[in-house]
């Protein structure tokens, strides 16, 4: 193969053959895709990069993600550095100028979220901390309503023709969030007086919706597997605080949760932290999560 052949191949690859009539929106998380769909913008193609069963902190920048975003008009990310290990490199590789960081097509859904656990003085000895705030807000109905506001702004920006429609659908969606929160509060009001623990820090915003809080985490340091001595200490604390349940993600190591249960007799539940295909909608997912908590605390 000669250098001339290589140059010819390169020139041929530069000929653009892509054309899309629809507005293509790619989200990192399926619940963000669900919001985009609920805003009901005509001619909107929505794709979620993740299926909801992954731990979005630690996904690899798969070439399939690059393929999905190479022609996207808008990328919607959870933000607060949740996807910092893979979204920047996928965007870089895709070479799509529309969705570069701070371009019109880059949408950080966390902009209006009321950030919890902001840690400005951060260093790596603190483990997997997100200095800009805890990124796990999509479990919270309150915060998802605020994320919807940002997503609506982003959609209006890339599909300005439908701005009024988007605003109208946002109002309806935010009303639905309020109604759902009201209904969930009736079911989960006991959480404000029930001692719970979590494996990691995913439930901070969720518990806040119901005036509850975690009494501690099974992890000593975020992202680090718990040592035996820490399990012993946290078990003692759980008994002292009369903890009823441990909340965890399906991606957390089950053996440590089982060990904790054998030490304390406190049950745990492992749920997907994001909207997976087993749920019809985000409302359905919220119902399932609430039902699982109720079953394990009240039974």
Partner 1 sequence: MKIFLFIFFLPSIAFAQNPQLIQWFAGADLIGTGNSQEELSNDFFVREFELSAFSQIDHVWQGSLTMSMHKDAGSIDQPTAEVHEAFLFSNQAINNTNIKIGRFFLGFGRLNRFHRHDWALSEAPTYHEEFFGEEAVRDEGVEISKLLATDFYLDLTMGITSGKEFVHSHSESHSEDEDEDHETVTPQVPTHYLRLASFTEFSTQRGIEYALNYVGRTDNAGVKSQYIGLDFIYKNKFSKFYKDLLQLEVWNRATEEEGEIHNDIGGYLYYEKGFDQNHALGFLVDWYTPEGAHDEEEEEEHSHGFEVEDYFTEVGMVYSYYNSEFMRTRLTLSHGDGLTIDEKRRDNTKLLLQMVFTIGAHPAHVY
94 forms part of the interface with partner 1 (CB under 8 A): yes
Element (DSSP H or E) covering residue 297: helix 282-298
C-alpha 221 chain-centroid distance: 20
Among 40, 93, 180, 230, binds partner 1 (CB under 8 A): 93
Element (DSSP H or E) covering residue 5: helix 3-13
Among 38, 47, 59, 185, binds partner 1 (CB under 8 A): 59
Among 18, 164, 186, 299, binds partner 1 (CB under 8 A): 18
Q: With CB under 8 A as the contact rule, which of the stretches 152-160, 188-196, 239-247, 249-257 interacts with partner 1?
A: 249-257
β-pairing, 106-108 with 214-217?
unpaired
The distance of closest approach from Cβ of residue 163 to partner 1 in the complex, given in angstroms and rounded to an integer, is: 27
20 forms part of the interface with partner 1 (CB under 8 A): no
Sequence-separated contacts (24+) of 17-25 with Cβ below 8 Å: 18/71, 20/71, 23/73, 23/74, 23/158, 23/159, 24/71, 24/72, 24/73, 24/74, 25/72, 25/73, 25/74, 25/75, 25/76, 25/155, 25/158
Among 29, 32, 41, 61, binds partner 1 (CB under 8 A): 61
The Cα–Cα gap between 173 and 187 comes to 21
Q: How many residues bind partner 1 (CB under 8 A)?
A: 47
The distance of closest approach from Cβ of residue 24 to partner 1 in the complex, given in angstroms and rounded to an integer, is: 14
Among 66, 263, 288, 294, binds partner 1 (CB under 8 A): 66
260 forms part of the interface with partner 1 (CB under 8 A): no
**CB atoms closer than 10 angstroms to residue 192:** 12
Among 23, 32, 36, 86, binds partner 1 (CB under 8 A): 86
16 forms part of the interface with partner 1 (CB under 8 A): yes
Q: Which residues, numbered 265-284, are part of the site for partner 1 (CB under 8 A)?
A: none
Among 126, 171, 223, 232, binds partner 1 (CB under 8 A): 223
């Amino acid at each position: 193969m000669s250098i001339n052949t290589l140059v010819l191949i390169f020139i041929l690859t530069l000929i653009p053959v892509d054309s899309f009539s629809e507005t293509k929106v790619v989200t990192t998380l399926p619940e963000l895709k669900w919001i985009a769909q609920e805003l009901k913008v005509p001619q909107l193609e929505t794709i979620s990069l993740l299926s909801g069963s992954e731990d979005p902190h630690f996904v690899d920048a798969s070439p399939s993600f690059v393929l999905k975003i190479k022609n996207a008009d808008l990328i919607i990310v959870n933000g607060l550095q949740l996807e910092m290990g893979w979204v920047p490199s996928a965007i870089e590789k895709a070479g799509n100028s529309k969705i570069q960081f701070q371009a019109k097509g880059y949408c950080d859904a966390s902009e209006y979220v009321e950030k919890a656990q902001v840690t400005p003085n951060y260093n790596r000895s603190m483990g997997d901390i997100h200095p800009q705030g805890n990124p796990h807000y999509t479990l919270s109905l309150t915060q998802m309503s605020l994320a919807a506001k940002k997503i609506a702004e982003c959609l209006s920006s890339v599909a300005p023709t439908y701005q009024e429609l988007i605003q109208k659908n946002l109002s309806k969606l935010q009303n639905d969030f309020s109604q759902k929160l009201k209904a969930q509060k009736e079911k989960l009001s006991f959480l404000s007086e029930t001692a719970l623990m979590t494996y990691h820090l995913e439930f901070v915003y969720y518990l806040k919706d119901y005036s509850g809080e975690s009494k501690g985490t099974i992890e000593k340091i975020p992202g680090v597997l718990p040592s035996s001595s820490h399990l012993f200490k946290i078990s003692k604390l759980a008994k002292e605080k009369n903890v009823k349940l441990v909340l965890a993600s399906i991606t957390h190591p089950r053996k440590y949760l089982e060990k904790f249960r054998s030490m304390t007799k406190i049950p745990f539940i492992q749920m997907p932290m994001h909207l997976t295909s087993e749920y019809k909608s985000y409302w359905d997912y919220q119902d399932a999560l609430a039902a699982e908590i109720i079953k394990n605390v009240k039974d």
